[in-house]
Amino acid sequence: MTEYVFPTPQTVAVLVAGSSASFAVRRVFCVGRNYADHAREMGANPDREPPFFFAKPADAVVAAAGTLAYPMMTEDLHHEIEMVIAIGKEGRQIEPQDALSYVFGYCVGVDLTRRDLQAVAKKMSRPWDWAKGFDESAPVTSIRRATEIGHPGSGAIWLSVNGETRQTGDLGDMIWPVADIVSHVSRAVVIKPGDLIFTGTPAGVGVLNPGDKVAGGVDGIAEFHFEIGGAQG
């Protein structure tokens, strides 16, 4: 038995809806610009770009509920509502037509972003890690099993702040649908149970301030409510 100098880190867990079991999170991948209208609002051309990915640490995942800390080091925290794929089987070099069998289920998440840091990173050709991978930057709902809800190819995706709708879209508008996303990730790394993949956000991303009440959801998967806490010193 290995002896550790500190207690081993706690496993990050996401509840599985309709059961007492949890999904142990291994890694978090995110697709950039997967809805044409959002790609355009960020100044990119959606017709010319294959999908690209970035990652968040597993412990960025928290329940999309209660109060989330307003992060350090930013004055421009943004919301990005996204459907999230939960991987349930190991695989590599997966063909799109086989990809859905690797999906355990789906949840709804917010890819919280320190947009001011991302803008600097883009300008300086630096990594996005500090813009995307901070503490509590990946709030998610509980996971719905694909055996229960199937593989959603369409359905409304939305987010509101203080009761005002900010983002609306439809899963059917994703440039790269679920099967293609899983296939692409599996050509870069071996995917394994516990991996989560954020699938991109529709247009309407915007600022979150301390005290804001955030709600969102994807029809047929889940809805959530959380509040942004006070700014940290």
Binding site for Mn ion (CB under 5 A): 80, 111, 201
* Closer to Mn ion by Cβ: residue 111 or 195: 111
* Closer to Mn ion by Cβ: residue 80 or 136: 80
* Closer to Mn ion by Cβ: residue 80 or 145: 80
* Closer to Mn ion by Cβ: residue 54 or 63: 54
We find the least distance from the C-beta atom of residue 201 to Mn ion, in angstroms, to be 5
Characterise 73 by phi-psi region: left (phi > 0), alpha (psi -120 to 50), beta (else). Answer: left
CA distances from 50 to 45, 175, 200 (A): 11, 9, 13
We find the least distance from the C-beta atom of residue 230 to Mn ion, in angstroms, to be 25
* Closer to Mn ion by Cβ: residue 16 or 138: 138
We find the least distance from the C-beta atom of residue 114 to Mn ion, in angstroms, to be 12
187: helix, strand or coil = coil
CB-count exposure of residue 229 (10 Å: 0-12, 13-18, 19+): middle
Run of H or E including 211 = none
We find the least distance from the C-beta atom of residue 155 to Mn ion, in angstroms, to be 18
φ, ψ (nearest 5 deg) of residue 145: -70, 140
The residues with which 197 forms a beta bridge, in sequence order, are 29, 85
Euclidean distance between CA atoms 179 and 84, whole angstroms: 13
* Closer to Mn ion by Cβ: residue 53 or 91: 53
Euclidean distance between CA atoms 47 and 35, whole angstroms: 11
Residue nearest Mn ion, Cβ-based: 111
We find the least distance from the C-beta atom of residue 59 to Mn ion, in angstroms, to be 18
We find the least distance from the C-beta atom of residue 39 to Mn ion, in angstroms, to be 11
